[in-house]
Amino acid sequence: MKPSRLPLVTTILVLVFFYLPIAALVIRSFNASRYTPAWKGFTWKWYERLWEREDLLSALGNSLKIATAASLLSMVLGTTAAFALHRHRSRLQDFHSLMVRVPLVLPDILMGMSLLLLFVSAGVPLSLITITLAHVTFCLSYVALVVLARLEDFDFNVVEAARDLGATPLQAFAKITLPMLLPGILAGGLLAFTLSIDDYVITFFVKGPGSDTLPTLIYSMIKKSRELPVINALSTLMLAITFAVVFAAQRLTRKA
């Protein structure tokens, strides 16, 4: 029997559905026309504009700082959580497991609101730090789940082997466990990075005045239509960064 063409057709349709809007955006970021979608020739000028915009550069700086800090923190906390979830099975851990997974599906609005309430009632001034902490709450779940998946097929005999060969618990962790889990932890961290850098809703709630990130700044710029081409260029750049990071994360998870 001839293999059915249906899967191929569906795949193409899905890809078109996903990527047509993005392709439109990328193309428009190179269009010399400011207001209309009609093609008026190729240009780099929107990208050049980006570098002249102080507010954009500072927002980019904020986003990168937050994403880096949030992913590093969630790598540490998420890995710890994954270990706790893997090594100890109890009713408390079942609850823990549920609690780690919930942020993946919890509406962002709800998380943003509750975090804002918490910060305000605790008297914490809203700043880059509050944004970072807020991002850690959901990034942590992703790291924990990625690392947990790695732990499922981790042979803990190697840790005993290291101890047997003279390693202290700390040495065994530093020389054996950590290097073996590092690809998983990094993959989780990169995933966290991409999630943090494009988060809008939660950031919107917990950001203080003047501490704009790229997504919040883009949203406020979108109201002025003459800014659109610059936003297109900016979005294309973010897209490129995200693709690069996701690609790296995939390479890491596949390798070992």
Q: Give the orientation angle of helix 128-152 with respect to helix 54-87, to 10 degrees.
A: 40
Which residue, 54 or 155, has its beta carbon nearer to other proteins?
A: 155
Report in angstroms how near the CB of residue 102 gets to other proteins at its nearest: 33
Which residue, 226 or 255, has its beta carbon nearer to other proteins?
A: 255
Is 77 an interacting residue with respect to other proteins (CB under 8 A)?
Answer: no
Q: Dihedral of CA 218/221/225/227: which sign?
A: negative
Which of 15, 109, 244, 256 is in the footprint of other proteins by CB under 8 A? Answer: 256
| CA dist., res. 45 & res. 6, Å (int) | 43
Is 65 an interacting residue with respect to other proteins (CB under 8 A)?
Answer: no
Which residue, 45 or 251, has its beta carbon nearer to other proteins?
A: 251
Report in angstroms how near the CB of residue 35 gets to other proteins at its nearest: 56
> Quick check: helix, strand or coil at residue 85?
helix
Which residue, 149 or 167, has its beta carbon nearer to other proteins?
A: 167
| CA dist., res. 12 & res. 16, Å (int) | 6
Q: Give the orientation angle of helix 178-197 with respect to helix 128-152, to 10 degrees.
A: 140
Q: Which of residues 121-180 bind other proteins (CB under 8 A)?
A: 155, 157-158, 160-168, 171, 175-176, 179-180
Report in angstroms how near the CB of residue 148 gets to other proteins at its nearest: 19
Contacts of 19 (CB under 8 A, 6+ apart): none
**248 beta partners:** none
Q: How many residues bind other proteins (CB under 8 A)?
A: 18
Which residue, 20 or 165, has its beta carbon nearer to other proteins?
A: 165
Q: How many CB atoms lie within 10 A of CB 224?
A: 10
DSSP string covering 126-137: PSHHHHHHHHHH
Which residue, 106 or 176, has its beta carbon nearer to other proteins?
A: 176
Structure tokens at 241: 């960064």
Report in angstroms how near the CB of residue 201 gets to other proteins at its nearest: 40
Give the binding site for other proteins (CB under 8 A): 155, 157-158, 160-168, 171, 175-176, 179-180, 256
